[in-house]
Homo-oligomer: A and B are copies of this chain.
Amino acid sequence: MSKRYLIISADCHAGPESPKYREYLDPQYRDRFDVELGARDALMDQMRRERFGTAENVFAGSEEFQEEWFGVDEHGESLHEIGLRGGWDAKQRDEELSADGVTGEVVFPGPDAVTGKMGAPFGAGFAIDSTADPELVLAGARAYNRWAAELCAESPQRRAGLIVAPILADIEGAVAEITRAHGEGLWGGVIIPAQWGEYPSYTNYRYDAIWELCESLRLPVHTHSGPAAHADYGAVPGVLGLYATETVWWTARPMWFLLWSGVFERFPGLKMAVTESGSYWAPDMLWRSDSLILKDQGSRKLDDSVKGLLTMLPSEYFDRNCGLGSSNTRRRELARRYEIGIGNIMWGNDFPHPEGTWPYTKKILREAFWDIPVDETARILGLNAAEFYGFDVDALRPIADEIGPTPEELGQTDTAAFAKWDDLRAAGRHWLTGKEAVPVAP
């Protein structure tokens, strides 16, 4: 067994500098794109006013953060400029990932999470706009997908590129685009809107054509953090906190819609990932969902229709069909990993977003994983994603053997420390094992 971790980031972002999208758009959309691009600053001001009650960029952080992210050092050299170029430059990207210890990556659009100016055209980003014009958002998705296929063609074994697919309005169009983009080399999966707006929700059978296609092409469907119920918030001060509190729920929500409406029963090979929404919420979701079927004290008045179309427990579908692109996995989440499922957590560095771990990945991993057993660390940091997405581990191993951190570099030197988890591991999902998930007396 290798001494170095094979790390796969299940949450990375890439995209060209905005004007570059023009050449990837079908010609009939280029004039419209020029207009959008010219008005982008004004549109973003308007959007922020409507959502957050201010035209200021609420995602620009403090002055200290801006200095760190965009500033220059004492020699006048830009601190991050070269690294951020990895958002679109394949060679630079490989260098940045390698320096971060990351061998493989799952690629979402949107490399710029601070200024927000580099989104894919017409709302076709990692949080697809459900209110966008159906024709335009599909055109924008096509442009992004074409660009992404080119990026991923460089170092293809390192990059699982995702297909942006606005599936709400034009299901036939989405099926055609998924098929086309997959044929061009985007093998990582499909990004769907997390919110359906005025369209039928994902319990509706109209989306079965999408699920069937994704199952047959082995393309996991994804939602990615960002969506929220902005119309509810009202543009008063403080709604930024409200937004950030709720976006995780809105992003994860389609997972239990698919689960309860039997999509994973009808399409047992379909996989779904919820990305950059943490994994801390999964244990409660699974506990509550399983408890409904198992009829605990709080659920015994429910009739048998609660089982709906399911033949297994919700947690069993979760283990078989779902993965969590858990990004910067927190200590708090690692403490719950036996309930989440060791096999369901897929770490990510969120390159090149500042809320991720790049370029401090090794330091942050050390703080979180120093007492996590090596076999579990290996799965969470890479092997789970390798299996979920179908990375070629044999092809990646030589890279990992050069750039991956060792357990020692993550501070995993005191193997006796691993024993602290024994009780929690034995308890597992306590509602199924009947064991206690609380610490035992010393």
Contacts and interface: CB of A to CB of B under 8 A. Distances in A.
Interface of A: 52, 54, 56-62, 65, 113-114, 196, 200-201, 203-205, 232-234, 236-242, 244-246, 248-249, 256-257, 260-262, 280-281, 284-285, 287-289, 292-293, 295, 297-310, 314, 328, 331-332, 335, 353-355, 357, 364, 416-417, 419-421, 423-424, 430-431, 436-442
12 contacts: A58-B305, A59-B302, A61-B303, A65-B300, A201-B232, A237-B305, A241-B310, A242-B257, A245-B256, A280-B287, A281-B284, A301-B354
A260 B61 CA distance: 19
A289 B257 contact: no
B301 A245 contact: no
A366 to B, nearest CB: 14
Given A242-B257, A284-B280, A439-B439, A301 B234 contact: no
Given A59-B301, A62-B304, A332-B437, 16 more contacts: A60-B301, A65-B300, A203-B239, A205-B236, A236-B309, A237-B309, A241-B306, A241-B310, A244-B292, A245-B260, A245-B288, A249-B249, A300-B354, A335-B437, A420-B438, A420-B441
A298 B355 contact: yes
A240 B302 contact: yes
Contact of A308 (B237, B357, B442): B237
A420 B260 CA distance: 37
A54 B304 CA distance: 12
Contacts of A439: 420-421, 423-424, 439-440
B240 A306 contact: yes
Query: Looking at A201, A303, A331, which has the most chain B CB atoms within 10 Å of its CB?
Result: A303
A335 B438 contact: yes
B237 A59 contact: no
A56 B285 CA distance: 26
4 closest pairs, A vs B, by CB?
A238-B308, A439-B439, A420-B441, A242-B260
B201 A234 contact: yes
Nearest to A265: B238
Nearest to A249: B249
A249 B288 CA distance: 12
A58 B355 contact: no
Contacts of A292: 241, 244-245
A442 to B, nearest CB: 6
Given A62-B295, A245-B260, A239 B300 contact: no
A58 B419 contact: no
A52 to B, nearest CB: 7
A193 to B, nearest CB: 14
A14 to B, nearest CB: 18
Contacts of A302: 58-59, 61, 240, 244
B423 A441 contact: no
B56 A355 contact: no
A419 B441 contact: yes
Contacts of A289: 241, 245
Query: Looking at A200, A205, A246, A431, which has the most chain B CB atoms within 10 Å of its CB?
Result: A246
A430 B280 CA distance: 15
Nearest to A64: B300
Contacts of A284: 280-281, 284
B244 A299 contact: yes
Contacts of A424: 438-439
A264 B248 CA distance: 24
Contact of A240 (B59, B61, B308, B364): B308
Contact of A301 (B114, B233, B304, B314): B114
A210 to B, nearest CB: 16
B287 A332 contact: yes
B114 A355 contact: no
A301 B113 contact: yes
Nearest to A438: B335
